[in-house]
Amino acid sequence: MSVAVGAFAVFAASQIGTPGPANMAVMTAGAAHGFRAVLPFLTGVILGKQLIIWPMGFGLLELARAAPLVFEALKWIAAAYIVWLAWRVANTRLGEAAAGDVPGFASGLIVHPINPKAWAMITAGFTSFTAIGTPAPVATAWIAGVLLTVQLVLQPLWAFGGAAMAARLRGRPAERYLMWTLAALTVLSVLFVLFGGGNA
């Protein structure tokens, strides 16, 4: 096969299933607002990765190599945005947020396109798991399909996990510590991405 689908699926699961800025943002939002309320945000996060895959498969990878400063700037924009999301949630008490405070589909949609580690994961798919000479539409479709499938399985677990923790602590003194801890972990994951590598 022109794309090593099985190997790439294992790689993708190792990245998507472990903590990173996107997963921490999903988990923190789930804790603050509940699983059902953050489904639009979660859907945006999942589909947002497709906004990188398809353009990259048809030439954006070369542009990224030619204009590294643009993508360096995106890294810092991504960090600022995810930290801002964490700050909003850290100051939210469970069950008290207004509907307008819940991050929506559009907020989720931009998490991955401005996340440099998502770009790195997708780049690895095209450069390390795809045979030389594979037609762009074929490679792109496989990479997109594998990542979408793995995200649909694993990323809802992060939102559900956050919501489950919150349900046990709602109204208790530990609630405040939960929200601040999740926000702090989100910020730490961003710092890890900026300065030490990490997951998408």
Q: What is the 3-state secondary structure (H, E, C) of 89-111?
A: HHCCCCCCCCHHHCCCHHHHHCC
Q: What is the pLDDT of residues 147-160, one digit of tens each?
A: 999 999 999 999 99
Decide: helix, strand or coil at residue 114: coil
In the chain, domain spans: 5-196
Give the CA angle between residues 69, 73, 78 to the nearest 5°: 145
- CA–CA distance, 83 with 13 (Å, rounded to integer): 24
What's the rounded mean pLDDT across residues 103-109?
Answer: 89
Amino acid at 188: L
Give me 12's structure tokens: 């993708």
What is the percentage of the chain residues whose pLDDT exceeds 70?
Answer: 76
Task: Give the DSSP H or E segment for 172.
Answer: none
Give me 70's structure tokens: 């643009």
Q: What is the pLDDT of residues 54-87, one digit of tens each?
A: 988 887 656 656 666 766 676 677 667 767 767 7
Give the CA angle between residues 75, 72, 24 to the nearest 5°: 15
Residue 140 vs residue 117, higher pLDDT: 140
State whether the Cα torsion 4-57-17-196 is positive or negative: positive
